[in-house]
């Protein structure tokens, strides 16, 4: 019985590691949007059996990172026409998550949020945009966890991942040309404002100020969306696009 328990534990660990590795490959665009996922190739590359790969794919389908088309499995394509709807989903879910985090955050969860905030600030000077994005995502996942509502949490994290993937695709070429270099002036200004907003967000959660927490969620989503739209559409078009997708703050 003990031996069987050890085998089951190893299987769970293998499944979890396999899921994380494939997920990271998708988010890092190592597995490109729309590309076919070949189980045999993944098994060989990760030195695992088909079982953990198949279990990982099931979870990735639930995460909306992978789609099944008949017998084949593909990385979920990126549809830039979905940006307005994604923005709406992220804004609405973010407002609710931040209100709930201010209402429900425990001391251990607050410490986790503060640690993630400081980790982002330390990584803000990195020339690695992907590393910065992952640190930012960890902070927002920590805030999501503090909301203590798995229904809103799932909605919010789906929108976060969708936004993350779009941002990675949009910024990847720019970052490849500037790998290892310090962020340019525009990026540095954006990062300073991001860090400032993060501190206000965390303070609102720490003090239990639900209204302020929601206001910061709106401001932060606007900051993120504005930067992405400027890159994709240019300043003038982004301004018109932003006005057409803006939702009232209260």
Decide: 122 and 106 in contact? Cβ < 8 Å.
no
14 and 84 part of one domain: no
Could you list the residue range(s) of the whole structural domain that residue 145 is in? 80-245
117 and 44 part of one domain: no
Domain annotation covers residue 164 = yes
CA dihedral 89, 81, 235, 231 (to 10 degrees): 90
135 and 235 part of one domain: yes
The enclosing domain of 107 has a CATH number of: 1.20.120.530
Question: Using CA atoms, how far apart are residues 66 and 58, in angstroms rounded to an integer?
Answer: 9
Q: Which of 75, 103, 119 is the last residue of a domain?
A: 75
Domain annotation covers residue 92 = yes
Domain annotation covers residue 193 = yes
| CA dihedral for 133, 19, 16, 41, sign (positive or negative) | negative
29 and 132 part of one domain: no
105 and 182 part of one domain: yes
152 and 232 part of one domain: yes
The enclosing domain of 27 has a CATH number of: 1.10.10.10
222 and 170 part of one domain: yes
The continuous run of DSSP H or E covering 219 comes out as helix 210-233
158 and 39 part of one domain: no
Q: What is the pLDDT along the chain (250 residues), one digit of tens a residue?
A: 444 443 334 444 566 889 989 988 888 888 888 999 988 888 988 888 889 999 999 999 988 899 998 888 999 988 878 778 888 999 999 999 999 999 999 999 999 999 999 999 998 877 677 788 889 999 999 999 999 999 999 999 999 998 888 887 777 655 555 555 666 788 889 899 999 999 999 999 999 999 999 999 999 999 988 887 777 666 544 444 443 344 433 3
Residue 176: the pLDDT is 56
Domain annotation covers residue 250 = no
Q: Which of 15, 44, 75 is the last residue of a domain?
A: 75
69 and 115 part of one domain: no
| 3-state DSSP assignment of residue 245 | helix
| 3-state DSSP assignment of residue 69 | strand
Number of domains the chain contains: 2
Domain annotation covers residue 31 = yes
Kindly report the pTM of this predicted structure: 0.77
């Amino acid at each position: 019985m003990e031996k069987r328990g050890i085998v089951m534990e190893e299987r769970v660990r293998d499944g979890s590691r396999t899921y994380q590795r494939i997920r990271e490959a998708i988010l890092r665009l190592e597995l490109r949007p729309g590309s076919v996922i070949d189980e045999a190739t993944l098994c060989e590359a990760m030195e695992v059996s088909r079982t953990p790969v198949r279990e990982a794919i099931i979870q990735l389908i639930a995460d909306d990172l992978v789609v099944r088309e008949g017998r084949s499995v593909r990385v979920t394509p990126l549809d830039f026409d979905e940006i307005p709807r994604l923005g709406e989903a992220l804004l609405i879910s973010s407002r609710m998550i931040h209100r709930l985090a201010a209402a429900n955050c425990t001391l251990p969860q607050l410490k986790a949020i503060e640690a993630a905030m400081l980790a982002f600030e330390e990584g803000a000077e990195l020339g690695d945009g992907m590393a910065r994005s992952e640190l930012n995502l960890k902070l927002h996942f920590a805030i999501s966890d503090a909301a203590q509502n798995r229904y809103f949490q799932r909605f919010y994290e789906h929108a976060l991942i969708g936004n993350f993937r779009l941002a990675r695709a949009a910024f990847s070429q720019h970052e490849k040309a500037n790998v290892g270099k310090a962020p340019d002036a525009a990026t540095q200004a954006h990062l300073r404002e991001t860090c400032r907003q993060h501190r206000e967000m965390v303070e609102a959660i720490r003090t239990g100020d639900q209204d302020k927490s929601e206001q910061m969620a709106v401001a932060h989503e606007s900051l993120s969306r504005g930067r992405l739209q400027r890159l994709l559409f240019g300043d003038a078009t982004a301004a018109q696009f932003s006005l057409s997708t803006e939702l009232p703050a209260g």
